[in-house]
Structure 1
Amino acid sequence: MKPYARAALWTALAVQAIWFVTQGSDAFGVCVLVALGAFAALSGRHPGTGVAVRVLMAADFLLSVGARFGAFGGPDTPGVTWGDFAHFTSYTRQVASFLPAALAPVLAVLATIAELGFALALLSGFQLRHAARGAACLLASFGISMTISLPVADQFHYCVFALAAAMLALSTVDRHPLSLDNALTRARARREANPVGRTLPCGKIT
């Protein structure tokens, strides 16, 4: 993990922890802080902590996408954030209140596509560096928009900036266990070590 990414992550975690101590937390917030704290502290020696962060972020994206399509109940279901895409579009209009209201449906669709794509990339471990950077940018844009348009408590409730910093940090990590990137790198190394058609000293073809 690069020093600037580590510093950003620890700063975001410290601010998030102070907010929780002063304003209260929930199970989701505690799990996020524990997972991201372990990643920040141990990723250099235990790359597996990055896997937990990937799964956590992917699950958060997928649950959010599911909620806007009624996977957990309709808009009137207790505990359900949106319940359908119309309510999510309305929420997008609130979050992006500084932009023309006509852009809300487009932004809602783009955000959904991006979250789903990043979730699948993080889970599979494919193009992780790019996926993590993209997720960091997306989350940072969410956090900034929420801070501008909504009560400041909203972005702290969802740990938006802490998760954004974690994705930035993840994009700087070199080793990614249990990932397609790792598997493809090993396969490429094996091919380079044993190229097809190489001529041996005895004249035989491998």
Structure 2
Amino acid sequence: MVVERLNNASMFISKFALLNVLWLALIVAGLGVFGFFPATIALFMIARKWVLEGQQGKVVKPMVKIFKEHFLRANVFGYLMLAAGAVLYINYHLIQASEGSVPLFVVLAFLFTVTVYILFAVSIIPVSVHFEGGMRTVLLRTLQFVFGRFHITVLFGIVVWSVIYLSLSFPAVIIFFSGSVGSYMLMWFFNRSIEKIDQKQLENNPIALKG
């Protein structure tokens, strides 16, 4: 019994390590700047599958297939987000250089926008791999999720920050577990949140319950 549990635990851990190494390999295969976003989409799709179905099945071939299929779309989404972040960064420096001449309400509006942007950025990938649709649909659903499940998006931010902090503190984590464990945690919390929303909708809709 003990040996079996240890074997299961080692298999569980090794699969996370494999997923993470494959994620990094796909980033490198895309020359870094073009590989990060499609590799991360593939990572989250596999993580979602694990959350819903467990770790059964192959990892390498499905992940490479997803990487190829979403290469263009993921890069378009990713670089649009980076462009928006760059605009906010420039505005931050403009406000800083103003030396207090910018009205308080403008500063507060900017801080609110930055907060929404950060929460949006950590939520868009889980939303995009869960829901099908074009760019407009994904953007709208992400905004709905950010404002409708605000506490979950804050939790997402904490998870992402924690993974980055641990990865910088313990570099080996980057190689074997940072992306795989982080994506799994985010998809687990996301899936639980969606399940609760679906359950509430069923409870408030007797017809749906009967169906």
User: Which of the pair has more CA radius of gyration?
Assistant: 1
Q: Same fold (TM over 0.5)?
A: no
Answer 1 or 2: which has greater helix percent. 2
Provide the TM-score with structure 2 as the length reference. Answer: 0.30
Provide the TM-score with structure 1 as the length reference. Answer: 0.30
